Amino acid sequence: MIGRRASDSGNVAIEAALLVPAVMVFLAVAVAVGRVETLSGTVDESARTAARTLSLDRSWTTVEEAKVVATKAVNEVLAQQGVSCPATTVDVHLGTLPGTAAGTLDTVAVDVSCTTTVLDLLPAKWVPASVTLTGHFSSVKDHYRSQ
């Protein structure tokens, strides 16, 4: 054994035993964070779709009717993306752009809250069982859209 000392034998195994679990945990956390960010983007997209749907849809006249239309749009987007949110809330707010007369530039704002589990990715005691993601979007109601 030229160039090796007897005291160096087994160091690679010890280094691997220490580093491999740390690298595995790091990769698992990176995947979990990536999934949460992807889910967050999907919730934002669902709020954007719901607000835009309300701005173009003429079938609703009250906030309750608007909430039904928005909830349907949110659920469709979440289903298309394969996101399971057992606890989803959709809030609709109607308003007017500041500095404009009422009825000229009405706005529709949608807030979406989605609580989903993350334990399927990283089943560890220090990982929260669920995470709540929120999305918000506002759109100007299109009064001039042809019927």
User: What phi, psi does 81 have (nearest 5°)?
Assistant: -90, -5
The confidence score (pLDDT) of residue 146 equals: 55
Please answer whether residues 56 and 82 qualify as being in contact, where contact means their C-beta atoms are separated by less than 8 angstroms.
no
Residues 20 and 13: beta-carbon distance below 8 Å:
no
DSSP label of 129: S
Mean pLDDT, each 10-residue run in order, the chain (147 residues)? 61 82 84 85 95 88 91 95 88 81 78 83 64 91 67
Distance, CA of 116 to CA of 23 (rounded, Å): 26
Model confidence, pTM:
0.76
